[in-house]
Amino acid sequence: MRVSNKELEVGGISFGLTSGVITTLGMIVGINAATESKLAVVASIFAIAIADSLSDALGIHLSEESRLDESDKPIWIISVYTFFAKFLVTLLFVLPFLIFNNNFAVVFSVIFGLLLVLLLSIFVARRSKKSIFQSVFEHVGLAIVVIIASHYVGGLAERIV
């Protein structure tokens, strides 16, 4: 079965967007719980935008390359879309920290990020003809677990160090 370029593009965007939101929210909430330093949060967002976006693009590239069932597909498409989706969505999280104080920027980022995951979950559920409620519950629920865990780990790091 041949995978179309459109499917690779959607897959790359979905992966990059989800990874960008969840990784960035986890980092924002964790670092804010540990330091409340705007500089630390913004610098970390930039680092994730570059390093983690490239890492995810390479990871998805190698993952697709290793699949024996679809060796003739242009895997660079999913790699490029993964990189740019993650890079751009991650950079969006810098804006609230440039505009608002840290605590409000964190809350704004969490709401914005969860909204993106919600909308992507609805899109994916409709596209795959699955239950929207189940998809939203699963994806947004996991994002909330990551946010809560990151908050407590950041607080623990602050107490230890």
Neighbours of 68 (CB within 10 A): 5
Q: Are 125 and 135 in contact (CB under 8 A)?
A: yes
What is d(CA 29, CA 35) in angstroms, rounded to the nearest whole number?
10
pLDDT single digits (tens) 26-47:
999 999 999 989 999 999 999 9
Tokens 């865990």 sit on residue = 149
3-state secondary structure the chain: CCCCHHHHHHHHHHHHHHHHHHHHHHHHHHHHHHCCCHHHHHHHHHHHHHHHHHHHHHHHHHHHHHCCCCCCCCCHHHHHHHHHHHHHHHHHCHHHHHHCCHHHHHHHHHHHHHHHHHHHHHHHHHHHCCCHHHHHHHHHHHHHHHHHHHHHHHHHHHHHC
**For the chain, what is the mean pLDDT?**
92
Give the pLDDT confidence score for residue 104 in this predicted structure.
97
Q: Are 53 and 16 in contact (CB under 8 A)?
A: yes
Q: Which amino acid is at 77?
A: I
Give the pLDDT confidence score for residue 134 in this predicted structure.
96
Q: What is the pTM of this model?
A: 0.89
Give yes or no for residue 106 having a pLDDT over 70.
Answer: yes
pLDDT single digits (tens) 2-12:
566 677 678 88
